[in-house]
Chains A and B, each alone.
Chain A
Amino acid sequence: MLRPEPGRPESPRDARPGGGGGEEGEEGNPFDFAPQPVRLHRDHELFEDGDVLRHLYLQDLYVSEEAEDKRALCVSEFACHFSSCSAVFSSLEEYEHHYNSLHRHVCCSCRRSLPSARLLDLHIQEWHDSLFTILAQRQDMYQCLVEGCGQKFRTSKHRKDHLVRIHKYPPDFRFDKTKKNRGTQQTKGQQQKDTAMEVVDEVCEGTSDPPEQGESMETYVCEEEAARMATPASSEEHADVSAADPSTESPSTEPPKARFSYRIPTTVCFGHGSVRGFRGRRGRRK
């Protein structure tokens, strides 16, 4: 809306790294902020309201502030910054809820979003841990999803049966969906699973099919909840939150690619409750 005029000489200030130029010897510093006074010419749109007020006064139509119709002041919207998620919110609380529900527990290997830290742990374990695979051949490794139960099972099917029989999960609760290939977008290196564990939000009651993305292990969010959380352009993409997953993005947009820092050891995770899993997997994506 308002851009500083170029060419204005900068005021003298303490020599310090900051803005215009960045730190010495540092390449590729993208920060180029510099204080700039802005000159507004007579016809600038920013002057519109004031000019209209002036002329209303000249034409004897001036109304004092008290008598004026009060228009509600606009508040900035918040937006989810994952590029595949175009949700926009009018309050910070809504944004937080959306983010915490859908983007918080993200597996950094496959970019899937899980509803809780525990389920994320289980996911990582069962999907991305080769040790788990090896051990699972010999002992009961598949944990019951219900917290506090503690039982373990040999296969995910056994676990499913347990969940249905003992914990009264509905039998058509998205269990054991076989992983389908998504064409060329198949992530490499991901462990092939015959049976897949559907990670579901345990408070969810509905069994409406999650938006079909082909691949299992998607976060399944109740559609009512998803609808409540935001007014997104593409609500189905909530379920598969991977921002950098090309398969979820419309072909027209330029998907920003996931960044993998070379400096981060693969076993280290970032932040508290944030993206976790094995990082630094190169060549996973096209």
Chain B
Amino acid sequence: MWRLNKVRHKAVRHGDSLEELKLKRREHERALRQARRDRQLVSKRLLLNDDEDQPEVTMDTNTGEQDAVGLFLKLQHGGPGREAHLEALSKVLRDPSAQLAFLKQENSMHLLVGFLTGSDATCRLQAVRCLHELSHSPHASVSSACLPATPYLLTYLSGQSTKFTELCLYTLGNLCPDSDAVKEKLLAQGIIPALANCLENQRHNLAVVEAVGFTLSQFLQAKNAAEKIIPAVLASSLPSNLLSVLTPDPKFGLAPAIECAWCLHYLACSMKDNRELLAHGALLQCSSLLVSLGGAVAEGNKEEGLELFICPLLRCVGNLLSSCPVKELSTQAGDVRIVAALCTLVQAFLQSRPALARESAWVLNNLTALSSASCSALLTLNLVPGLMKLLPFSQGINTMILRILANIAHKKKHFCAQLTRCGLLSALCATLKMADQEMVTLSMDVLYMLVVGGPQVAEEFVKQGGFPLLEALQYNGEGAIRRRATHLLERHLLSCSSYCSENVPCS
């Protein structure tokens, strides 16, 4: 059974040095990145046997092919020892060329389906294991050969055997991304209601929950999911059940919650209008989870793989916030402690997973754009200085942070005064010198709000040497920057006394 608490590497073999491993991993990562850019990012999962720790692949392909054919013939022949043969076959079918050899045999699938639907429970289990191995193949021709079995697999989802149900689910999940035709077929055969029932009835069984989550996530990632699949999912009991199992079980681990969270993310980011999810309390629940996770991270309890859970939660909150009607905001995202959690996450992930730091900052932007209470909380909880320390970091982090500060300044004048007291002016003196034009423009927007917010601010800014920065910006290549600089200089800074007192008449 696949569980997160063992970190495993597919590539690990005796003799692979650490460097080789790193190289392989980087290659994999590169391939995945490219696949995503091509909108082809799909994965399949292999459920290992209980006694297996690593996916072992037999090295000798010739034997594999022969064994597969031999076992098939034995099984076709009938007689005693079927269970043993099937078990052996399931192991042999791990090998890709054995898979092909098996499928070349006429009626091979028919045979498997026969065992799958037969009266022998052990044979059923082994048969589904064979199918599972076949479904994991990257070759569409192999996995599509499994299609005759799918109606039965779906029926079995309402069964009670954990192991068996898991295998059915992962098999179906693996078949999903192979082609649109496969998806169509499975949808027509009623996979969404089947998954909904399964989750409803097996909520207590976390291994099954994880499997349902995975399979559902495969469908939700389909290219046309928004048109066909997601409305059906939203209309079912799936959203509320996904939410009900979102809190991780400490004994079992994060894995089921991870799958469900990713499902919710795919739901939330695919639709512009998220009222069903909001009605189910998705925003509230994801926010409160983030609060507790932020607290755990702040205390140093960073469980391995926690970011796999935090990431989809962040995305849910970020996108649900942007769909949430303002009136409902206080009920939906009531706990302002989330600002502290988000700040913790930004800082915690800054070095190790900068993309997640950026996503956390994005959520904070959405929150502060909408909620005055969150802006106030950032100030009251003294989180602003910590945010300002992040202004040197590029790749989208500092622009997002500056937006957050701008959101705060925009809300109320006395927020501006507090921001100034935090030392924002001197931070702006640095950001105004940056090469990034968005940073410079935003810096001036913030400066403008601070200056307009209070009479002494302009003087203070000039005292800190900000005047020549703006003068220099009057010669910047971007018109938007020049206009802002000129406006600030002419309308606000020239009149301030600290500047006037330093006039040096030229000879």
Residues of A within 8 A of B (CB): 1-2, 5, 8-9, 11-14, 16-19, 23, 28-31, 33-43, 46-65, 68-70, 73-84, 88, 92, 95, 99, 103-104, 121, 124-125, 129, 132, 243-244, 253-254, 256, 258-259, 261, 263-264, 267-272, 274-278
Contact = CB atoms under 8 A, between A and B. Distances in A.
B165 interface: no
Contact of B322 (A8, A60, A254, A268): A8
B472 A103 contact: yes
Chief secondary structure at chain B's binding surface? helix
Contacts of B482: 256
Contact of B36 (A5, A36, A48, A63): A48
Contact of A263 (B308, B395, B469, B490): B490
Contacts of B318: 38, 40
A48 B355 contact: yes
B490 to A, nearest CB: 6
Nearest to A266: B506
Of all A-B residue pairs in the complex, the 6 with the closest CB atoms, nearest first, are A49-B355, A79-B435, A35-B369, A243-B475, A58-B43, A33-B445
B362 A40 contact: yes
A82 B487 CA distance: 18
B395 A11 contact: no
A40 B440 CA distance: 24
Contact of B29 (A41, A56, A70, A78): A56
B409 interface: yes
B43 A41 contact: no
A152 B481 CA distance: 45
Nearest to B368: A35
A59 B351 contact: no
B504 A47 contact: no
Contacts of B258: 57
B377 interface: no
Interface in B245-275: 258, 262, 266, 269-270, 272
Interface of B: 7-11, 22, 25-26, 28-29, 32-33, 36-37, 39, 41-46, 55, 214, 221, 258, 262, 266, 269-270, 272, 302, 304-305, 307-308, 311-312, 315, 318-319, 321-323, 326, 350-356, 358-359, 362, 365-366, 368-372, 392-396, 398-400, 403, 406-407, 409-413, 430-431, 433-436, 438-440, 442, 444-446, 448-449, 452-453, 462, 467-469, 471-477, 480, 482-484, 486-487, 489-490, 494, 499, 502-507
A121 B302 CA distance: 62
A275 B502 CA distance: 12
Contact of B307 (A53, A61, A73, A270): A53
Contacts of A51: 36, 41
B475 A81 contact: yes
11 contacts: A34-B410, A38-B322, A50-B356, A59-B44, A60-B46, A65-B352, A82-B475, A256-B475, A256-B476, A267-B506, A269-B503
A23 B494 CA distance: 18
Contacts of A68: 352
A73 B9 contact: no
Given A11-B326, A46-B359, A64-B304, A70 B434 contact: no
A95 to B, nearest CB: 5
Given A16-B412, A52-B36, 18 more contacts: A1-B438, A11-B370, A14-B413, A33-B446, A35-B370, A35-B403, A41-B270, A42-B270, A52-B32, A58-B214, A59-B43, A76-B394, A79-B433, A81-B469, A83-B477, A99-B468, A274-B471, A278-B506
B439 A33 contact: no
Contacts of B29: 52, 56, 61
A48 B38 CA distance: 12
Contacts, number: 283
Contacts of B350: 73
A13 B472 contact: no
Contact of B351 (A31, A73, A275, A278): A73
A270 B9 contact: no
Contacts of A64: 7, 304-305
Contacts of B433: 78-79, 81, 92, 95
A201 B35 CA distance: 57
Given A78-B434, A121-B507, A274-B467, A37 B321 contact: yes
Contacts of B439: 76
Given A54-B262, A61-B25, A243-B475, A35 B41 contact: no
B32 A77 contact: no
A16 B450 CA distance: 12
A264 B495 CA distance: 11
Contacts of B39: 43
Contacts of B503: 268-270
A276 B308 contact: no
Contacts of A268: 503, 505
A17 B487 contact: no
A62 B25 CA distance: 9
Interface centre among B372, B477, B504 (most CB of A within 10 A): B504
A61 B365 contact: no
A65 B272 contact: no
A36 B369 contact: yes
Nearest to A13: B411
Given A59-B10, A125-B507, A129-B507, A70 B305 contact: no
Nearest to B469: A81
A54 B351 CA distance: 19
